Structure 1
């Protein structure tokens, strides 16, 4: 064997058709860790693993005998120390010196196998990553479809809400007009002059009032403030209004008016505390012939009475608010008034807004003004209020001149 073939970068050996090794180059000897003397003259089985031997004789030897050629057949050789070495073998069968010889080129592929394993692993990782990417892409598409559906649903809901808000606003405006138009108009004659002011903090108010001429000499004046403000309070005030209008017009006593209103509130909320409402109220029964005032104050801010000499009297509550307790006794009080006296009834939305100047000071300070001028003075003071928080409450007052 020439030196160039002996040191070739691949293994080389020759075999007889019986599998006897005729020659081995140095490259293959180093791979298998054998010496030339240990292999030359030995059967090829010495370099084959047990599993490879059967394959070698059934396929390799048969193929090279029939076709005189084998290309890139994968085998596993066994080293001197029983270490497997994967190789690719190319072989041809030809005659040399009147003998058929099998010449084999052997290429160790241990590194190639490692690379192939790494490529397989990399391929698996890439395939998994691609599948995850596809899965993520699918999930993203589903999420986008859901988002689009939700957006359409939200747009539809917003459209419905806008319509609902518009319809509700129209209904509230109509209810506000009905509530305002149900309020009584000023009364002015030779015996008495009654003016009023009413302003809701929102569309509807929890304040309600009424004053009525019962007969030629008798008048009934009532002012109520239902807990809270807005729709719920307004509904209750409208319910109470129809009742007190009927009661006052028939001329029943002040205590009876309060008793019936209290009973009505209890029947509205017999057992449901979540919707329970109460209200403060004050009622005046004025007799201009006798110059007397009969009144009941049920938890309401004090009525202020000022006579023609400037003397003031504050008529405080003598009974709890309507709707608080069952079987309340509403105490009626009566006093005589002087001609030229003035009265003001109000809700806490007015008194709190006018602070720090109390209403009685305002009344005393402007006693020389006519009733309409005095009303305008109160409105001017309310408009100039500094404590804007009180503007969130309903405002209502009644002023009365007793002639």
Structure 2
């Protein structure tokens, strides 16, 4: 490595497109407390990442650098050999030879600035209290304090800009996530209406319903463990997979099996970042008036016939991503005209007392399905406003009339 780069005042390393470290400069080695580059070269970038940053790099940084060839001012933490986390700003670019060049700048100066301000203030107070310091010493201490305050103001401006940029990126990601959701379906055979609300900017809930043929429809609702950025990244990757499978008319068992296998493969080499998800999938055949379903650890859907009689579509298997080599089997039920089905995530059911959703669905039996949806949505939003500080989960439900 060139001597100037090796001793640069910032960290420098190069990666393969798969994240394998090819070179690292002396400055970054000292920051990370590694004695020799030979101990890191040839290892995966995850070697110097804490667990919380590994999934972010895997699901955000790698796709971004491959698509845009450039990443600017990404704020992450690196893992020192001692186990300490070091906040840094990362700039990276993808070269024509598929090499990723990274420049890393530590961001721990702000704490040092604050400590120096406190020390300078103590010096000034001691000078006044003890009267042992000369006027020149006092003026120097005050000048030092003012200088550190200016440095702190600059650091605060940098942090404010980073926060604003991050919020802008989150809002853009939210719009992208909501754009991927399918629109309501209303025709002579079926009505499918949905409600979707994220507890934060991004949601771990995702759904889709698709008309596969004139008589057949596929409906899926998933809830990834947790909520926020990590869960949202997983939901988006799952959404692109199930949209392709369902639109091609793949069987229900194959759809769920593929999603389960995808989660296992995604975290096979990184168990610390492991996520699972619950899911319920319906195949609706309006010509034969049947519903074929698989419930993978999801809250039971409620099926209500025209007379108000209800049955629950209970779990048929564990959640996706928990156990490998599970054989997913469907169950099939017949329905009559006027039957309604309510699918929901636990963020909806846990907002109410037990059986509240059953009562709301039954009490609106004679109302149009659009009014029933409004009744459930209004009850949910009123509950949210009353207990807002307890509302920590994403919420989604789908109401179907056959």
Write out aligned runs for 1:248-263 (5 A): 248-263=246-261
- 1:223 maps to 221
Query: Is the CA contact (8 Å cut-off) linking 1:353 and 1:390 kept in structure 2?
Result: no
Query: Take 2:249 and 2:390, find their aligned partners in 1: how far apart are those partners?
Result: 36
| TM-aligned CA distance change 1:381 to 1:142, over 3 Å | same
Q: Secondary structure at the match of 1:345?
A: strand
- 2:287 maps to 289
Q: Secondary structure at the match of 1:334?
A: strand
Q: Secondary structure at the match of 2:295?
A: strand
Q: Displacement, 1:227?
A: 0.9
- 2:393 maps to 393
- 1:237 maps to 235
Q: Displacement, 1:300?
A: 0.5
1:278 aligns with 2:251: no
Q: Displacement, 1:334?
A: 1.1
1:187 aligns with 2:188: no
Q: Deviations over 1:145-184 (max 9, x none)?
A: 5533432222112111111111111111111111111110
Q: Secondary structure at the match of 2:278?
A: strand
Q: 2:368 aligns with which of 370, 375, 389?
A: 370
- 1:118 maps to none
Query: Is the CA contact (8 Å cut-off) linking 1:207 and 1:223 kept in structure 2?
Result: yes
Q: Deviations over 1:95-148 (max 9, x none)?
A: xxxxxxxxxxxxxxxxxxxxxxxxxxxxxxxxxx9xx97668787666545533
Query: Is the CA contact (8 Å cut-off) linking 1:277 and 1:323 kept in structure 2?
Result: yes
Query: Take 1:230 and 1:315, find their aligned partners in 2: how far apart are those partners?
Result: 28
Structure 2: gaps spanning 5 or more residues: 1-126
- 2:318 maps to 320
Q: Deviations over 1:240-264 (max 9, x none)?
A: 1000000000111111111111111
Q: Displacement, 1:387?
A: 3.5
Structure 1: gaps spanning 5 or more residues: 1-128
- 2:196 maps to 198
- 1:158 maps to 156
- 1:349 maps to 347
Query: Take 1:135 and 1:267, find their aligned partners in 2: how far apart are those partners?
Result: 68
Q: Deviations over 1:296-324 (max 9, x none)?
A: 10110001001112111101111111111
| TM-aligned CA distance change 1:152 to 1:210, over 3 Å | same
Query: Is the CA contact (8 Å cut-off) linking 1:352 and 1:390 kept in structure 2?
Result: no
Query: Is the CA contact (8 Å cut-off) linking 1:282 and 1:300 kept in structure 2?
Result: yes
Q: Which moved more, 1:294-303 or 1:318-327?
A: 318-327
Query: Take 1:297 and 1:136, find their aligned partners in 2: how far apart are those partners?
Result: 79
Q: Deviations over 1:168-208 (max 9, x none)?
A: 11111111111111110111111111000101111111110
Write out aligned runs for 1:95-134 (5 A): none
Query: Take 1:233 and 1:255, find their aligned partners in 2: how far apart are those partners?
Result: 24
TM-score by length of 1: 0.64
- May I ask how many residue pairs the two structures share in their alignment? 272
Q: Secondary structure at the match of 1:310?
A: coil
1:334 aligns with 2:332: yes
| TM-aligned CA distance change 1:166 to 1:313, over 3 Å | same
Q: Secondary structure at the match of 1:297?
A: strand
Query: Take 2:176 and 2:361, find their aligned partners in 1: how far apart are those partners?
Result: 32
Q: Secondary structure at the match of 1:203?
A: coil
| TM-aligned CA distance change 1:134 to 1:284, over 3 Å | same
Q: Which moved more, 1:392-401 or 1:133-142?
A: 133-142
| TM-aligned CA distance change 1:255 to 1:155, over 3 Å | same
Query: Take 1:222 and 1:263, find their aligned partners in 2: how far apart are those partners?
Result: 17
| TM-aligned CA distance change 1:356 to 1:314, over 3 Å | closer
Q: Displacement, 1:361?
A: 1.4
Q: Secondary structure at the match of 2:325?
A: coil
Query: Take 1:282 and 1:139, find their aligned partners in 2: how far apart are those partners?
Result: 73
Query: Take 1:311 and 1:183, find their aligned partners in 2: how far apart are those partners?
Result: 31
Q: Secondary structure at the match of 2:288?
A: coil
Q: Secondary structure at the match of 1:353?
A: coil
